[in-house]
């Protein structure tokens, strides 16, 4: 069946080939998720640029891309927790999650994130069909009024700040990042790698470098305690559901990140622990986005993420029957990898001189900026870093820096 049909014809030979490419995608997603500052969109577009050179039918190459994208959403929390350098989708989680690591609860934080992502996938699969049908009906109206929708999101983020000073600081950060996005997002500078342009330097500067700079004089990652979960199961489930619902917003509306969606979801969750709840909801929104974005691509023909852009370019008519099993396999692999690789990552970072490590990662971010956007990217990274240092000085949340995407989109730029 086409569109949202679910008819499946089982072919053992084809299934083995799909599994093999999926495993390859899992390996690539693990690598990209663990590299600090490597944005999922850049990685997906890099894969798309070499897809034609990969031997095999386009559908198999698409399976590898999708698996890499799903696993990336599980693993990108690891550098966000250990180093404070998040993928943009995990930007809001970086500091709350990092506080858990500093308190010795990093292993618990990893498991909360993995559970949030896994539960979100389980919830998103049955929700995706009715949500897609609803969004197909209302999408034209939403799209026509997108500036108003985005303005409402921005207003909500500001009014939920705890103080007037924090709200004013958030507004300043939003305007500054929106101006930065307006001037740089449309640039197409010559660069060694044609894979995503300005996204890497912008997000590395706004969300990664400032955390590393502020941590240069810190004590680094302390020894971590046991992995016991202190969040009530019912609260965990409710928060994961909120994250999955937020992932639907991310999957269908351009410009709304998983970080923003999770901020919108959190006030609706009965959670008394902000850091843990933020971690679960953001991880859930980030991963559920992979499911909803796939449905949006099939039903609406609109790729909402870098991974979907790459998939759309590699496969002429993607189908749910072909790719939903890939999502499930990749999610299971991502869950297991967070637990195994995440604990190891924390141990390695904890044994390393944190000042030296921070400087090394900062150098890596400069290199990535240059690879993806040339000298223009390096200069943009420097300016974005200066903007990214502002929120903690004004006592406001870093999520307002998502104005780099939301602002230009709301203004129709």
What are the phi and psi torsion angles at 8 (to 5°)? -130, 130
For residues 335 and 94, the model is more confident at 335
Q: What percent of the chain has pLDDT over 70?
A: 83
**Model confidence at 336, in pLDDT bands (50, 70, 90)?**
very high
* Dist CA 295 CA 280 (whole Å): 23
H-type alpha helices, 146-188: 146-159, 164-184
Tell me the pLDDT of the chain averaged across its residues. 82
pTM: predicted TM-score of the whole model, two decimal places: 0.83
Can you say whether residue 36 is alpha, beta or left, with left for phi > 0 and alpha for psi between -120 and 50 degrees? beta
**Cα–Cα dist 114/315, whole Å:** 29
* Matching residue, tokens 């993607």: 318
State the Cα torsion 392-255-181-160 to the nearest 10°. -30
At 264 the pLDDT is 65
Percentage of the chain beyond pLDDT 90 is: 21
pLDDT of residue 56: 67
Let me know if 353 is exposed, middle or buried by CB neighbors in 10 A (0-12, 13-18, 19+): exposed
Q: Which tokens in the block code for residue 247?
A: 């992932």
Q: What is the pLDDT of residue 305?
A: 72
DSSP state of 207: I
3 pLDDT more than 60: no
**Which of 9-23, 209-223, 229-243, 273-287 tops mean pLDDT?**
229-243
Which pLDDT band holds residue 7 (cuts at 50, 70, 90)?
very low
Distance CA(320)–CA(129), nearest Å, equals 11
pLDDT in tens, 264-316: 666 666 555 677 888 888 888 888 888 888 888 887 777 777 777 777 777 77
Q: Under a CB-based contact definition with an 8 Å cutoff, are residues 279 and 114 in contact?
A: no
Look at 86 and 109; give whichever has higher pLDDT. Answer: 109
Nearest to 333 by CA among 36, 67, 39: 67
Q: Which residues contact residue 307 at a Cβ distance below 8 angstroms, ignoring those fewer than 6 apart?
A: 40, 41, 44, 65, 66, 68, 69, 72, 290, 293
27: Cβ contacts below 8 Å, ≥ 6 apart: none
Alpha-carbon distance of 169 to 164, in angstroms, equals 8
Q: Can you give the pLDDT at residue 2?
A: 46
Q: Report the 10 Å Cβ neighbour count for 233.
A: 9
110: exposed, middle or buried (C-beta count within 10 Å: 0-12, 13-18, 19+)? buried
Give the DSSP H/E element, type plus range, for residue 227: none
Interacting residues of 80 by C-beta distance below 8 A, sequence separation 6+:
86, 87, 90, 93, 94, 97, 98
Asked whether the beta carbons of 388 and 172 are under 8 A apart, the reply is no
CA distances in angstroms from 72 to 27, 140, 361, listed in the order given: 10, 31, 19
Q: Indicate the domain borders of the chain.
A: 12-160+224-354
Does the pLDDT value for residue 10 go beyond 50?
no
pLDDT value at position 8? 47
CA distances from 46 to 78, 310, 311 (A): 22, 9, 12
**Burial of 287 from C-beta contacts in 10 A (0-12 / 13-18 / 19+):** buried
CA distances from 341 to 72, 82, 163, 229, 348 (A): 13, 12, 39, 18, 11
CA distance 234 to 236: 5
Are 364 and 138 spatial neighbours (Cβ–Cβ below 8 Å)? Answer: no
CA pair distance 53, 43, nearest whole angstrom: 16
Residue 53 has pLDDT above 80, yes or no: no
CB 408 within 8 A of CB 145: no
Q: Is the pLDDT of residue 90 over 60?
A: no
């Amino acid at each position: 069946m086409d569109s949202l049909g679910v008819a499946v014809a089982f072919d053992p030979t084809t299934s083995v080939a799909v599994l093999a490419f999926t495993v390859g995608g899992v390996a690539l997603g693990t690598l990209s998720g663990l590299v600090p500052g490597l944005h999922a969109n850049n990685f997906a577009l890099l894969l798309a640029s070499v897809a034609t050179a990969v031997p095999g039918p386009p559908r198999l190459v698409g399976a590898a891309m999708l698996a890499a994208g799903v696993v990336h959403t599980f693993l990108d929390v690891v550098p966000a927790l250990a180093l404070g350098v998040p993928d943009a989708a995990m930007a809001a989680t970086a500091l709350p999650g990092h506080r858990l690591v500093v308190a010795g609860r990093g292993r618990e934080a990893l498991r909360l994130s993995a559970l949030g992502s896994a539960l979100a996938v389980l919830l998103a699969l049955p929700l995706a069909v009715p949500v897609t049908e609803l969004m197909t009906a209302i999408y034209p109206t939403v799209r026509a009024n997108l500036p108003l929708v985005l303005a409402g999101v921005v207003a909500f983020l500001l009014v939920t700040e705890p103080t007037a000073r924090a709200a004013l600081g958030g507004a300043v950060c939003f305007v500054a990042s929106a101006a930065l996005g307006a001037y740089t997002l449309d640039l197409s500078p010559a660069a060694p790698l044609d894979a995503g342009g300005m996204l890497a330097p912008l997000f590395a500067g706004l969300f990664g470098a400032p955390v590393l700079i502020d941590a240069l004089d810190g004590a680094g990652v302390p020894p971590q305690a046991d992995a016991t979960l202190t969040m009530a199961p019912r609260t965990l489930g409710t928060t994961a559901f909120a994250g999955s619902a937020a992932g639907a917003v991310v999957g269908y509306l351009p410009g709304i990140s998983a970080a923003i969606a999770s901020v919108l979801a959190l006030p609706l969750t009965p959670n008394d622990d902000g850091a843990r709840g933020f971690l679960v909801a953001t991880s859930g929104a980030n991963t559920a986005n992979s499911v909803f974005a796939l449905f949006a691509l099939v039903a609406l023909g609109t790729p909402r993420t870098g991974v979907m852009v790459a998939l759309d370019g590699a496969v002429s008519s993607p189908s749910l029957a072909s790719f939903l099993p890939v999502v499930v396999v990749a999610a299971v692999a991502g869950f297991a990898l967070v637990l195994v690789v995440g604990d190891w990552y924390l141990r390695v970072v904890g044994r390393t001189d944190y000042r030296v490590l921070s400087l090394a990662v900062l150098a890596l971010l400069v290199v990535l900026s240059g690879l993806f956007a040339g000298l223009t990217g390096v200069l943009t990274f420097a300016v974005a870093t200066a903007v990214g240092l502002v929120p903690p000085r004004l006592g406001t949340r870093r999520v307002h820096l998502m104005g780099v995407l939301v602002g230009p989109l709301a203004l129709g730029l």
